[in-house]
Structure 1
Amino acid sequence: MRGVRLPRRLPRPPRPARLLPRTTRGRRRAVQAVMLGAVLALAPATWMHAVAADRLRAPAEVPAQDVAMVFGAGLWKGRPTPYLAHRLDAAAELYRTGKVKVLLVTGDNSRTEYDEPSAMRAYLTARGVPGDKVVSDYAGFDTWDSCVRAKKIFGVDRAVLVTQDFHIKRAVALCGAAGVESYGVGVPEPHDATWYYGTTRELAAAGKAALDAALRPDPHFLGDREDGVAKALAAPAPAAKP
C-alpha cells in the first residue's frame, strides 16, 4: 500500500570469535618456542659458515703466507693425540712445500705436567722442521685466546690456520674477529665416534664463538708482546739438503 514504510532490516550482530581450546593454544606456543629455539641455536653456526666458507683451501691451493697457526688438540702420555698429530703433519707439509715460513703452535700449558706447545714443537722438529722456525704460544687455552694472542702478542696479521675440518670454520671466523686475516686448511678425519663427538661439540661451541666475536673479551692471559714470530721470520732459511 502506498505510503506505508516497511521497517529496515537490522544488521546481524557479529559472530563471536572462536576461541581455541587451551590445550591447542598451549601446543601452538610450545611449537613456536621450539622453532625459535632452533633458529637461535643454529644462528651462530650459520654465521660461522657465512664468514669462513670462501676462506677454506686445500693445502696445495692455499695462498702463501708467512705464518701457519696450529691449534692444540690434546696430549696422550705427553705426546700429541692422533688428531693433533694430523694437524702437525699438515703444517709440516705446508712448511716443506714453501707455503709458509714459520709455524706458530698454540696450546695449553696451564700446569707443569701438561705442555702442548712443547710437545708440538718436538713433533715438528722430529719431522724435519727447523726449531728456529717453530714459535710456541703457551697460553692458547681456547680458539679465541689463540687468535687474540696471535694478533696482540705475536703481531700476526695474516696466517694459514691448520686444524680438523669440523673446527676450521670456527677458527677462521674467530681469527677474523680478532683481526687476523686467515685462510683455513681443514684436516680430514674418518667419521668415527670421535669425529661425531667433535662435530657435535662444534655446534655447542658455536654459541660461545659468536659471543666472543661480538663481545671481544681479553684472553685468559694476555701478557707482554713477544718477538718470536718476527725473529723466526728474520732467521735465515736452512740450506737445502743435497
Structure 2
Amino acid sequence: MAHLLAVSARLLALGALAAAPQLYARVTTHRDRGPAATGAFRPADAALVLGARVWEDGRPSLFLRQRVEAGVALYQRGLVPTLVLTGAGRNREGLDETAAMERTALDLGVPARDLVRDPSGHDTRASALNARDALGLASVIVCSQEFHLPRAMWLCRSVGLVPQGAHPPVLVREHTAFGHAREVPASWKAAIEIVRDRVQG
C-alpha cells in the first residue's frame, strides 16, 4: 500500500510538472480571455486571427472558420479596425491558410481594405513577432479556440504586445480534447522559446 501511495505521489508530481507552463499561461491570461461575441474586451489595434487547417479544395476547416468568425464578431462590435489573418502561406499540404481566411472574412462582410494577410505566420510565435515588427501593432485580440488562447496570449505578451483573447463557442468533440492535450508539450515549447529570447536579449 505504501509503495502504491509513493508511486501515485510521484505520478502526480510528474503530471503537475508537465502541466506547469500551461497552468501558468492559463492563470496569467484568464482575466483577458472570453467569448468573441460577448466578452468584455478593450479596443485593440487589430484582431490577430491565427491559422489552422485548410481542406484540399481550399475551404477552411471548422476550427479555422470559427477563428475567422471570432475576428469578424470583434470587428462588427467595433473593437478592432483590422483583421490580421496570419498563418502559413504554404502549409504541409501546399495550401495557403491566409487565402482561405480572407475568402471567409470577405464572405462574412468584412471589406478587403480592413483585412491584412500574413502568410509568414507559420507558428504562433512567428505570428506574434510579425504583428509587432512587420505591422507595428501594439495591442491585439487573439482569435483562436479556447484551449489555444492561453499559450498564444503568453507568446504575444512575451514579444511586447498587449494581448487579449477571443474564442468561438467551445465544441465538445474529439479534436477539442486533442487540442487540450497538445497544449501541454506546446506550452513547454513556448516556455523554452520565451526563456531563450530573454537570455539572448
Given the two structures, how large is their TM-score scaled by the length of structure 1?
Answer: 0.73
Matches within 5 A, 1:1-242: 34-59=11-36, 60-77=39-56, 78-110=58-90, 113-216=94-197
Quick check: which has more Rg, 1 or 2? 1
Identity %: 28
Q: Say if 1:55 and 1:172, in contact at 8 Å, map to a contact too.
A: no
Structure 1 position 163, deviation (Å): 0.6
Pick 1 or 2: higher relative contact order, CA cutoff 8 A, min separation 6: 2
Structure 1 position 32, deviation (Å): 6.5
Give the root-mean-square deviation of aligned CA atoms: 2.3
CA offset digits 1:208-231 (Å, max 9, x no partner): 1111221139xxxxxxxxxxxxxx
Structure 1: gaps of 5 or more residues: 1-23, 218-242
Distance in 2, matches of 1:188 and 1:202, equals 19
Aligned length: 194
Given the two structures, how large is their TM-score scaled by the length of structure 2?
Answer: 0.87
Provide closer, same or farther for how the CA distance between residues 99 and 28 of structure 1 changes in structure 2, counting only shifts above 3 A: closer
Distance in 2, matches of 1:203 and 1:160, equals 23
Identify, as 1 or 2, the structure richer in helix. 2
Distance in 1, matches of 2:151 and 2:94, equals 28
Structure 2: gaps of 5 or more residues: none
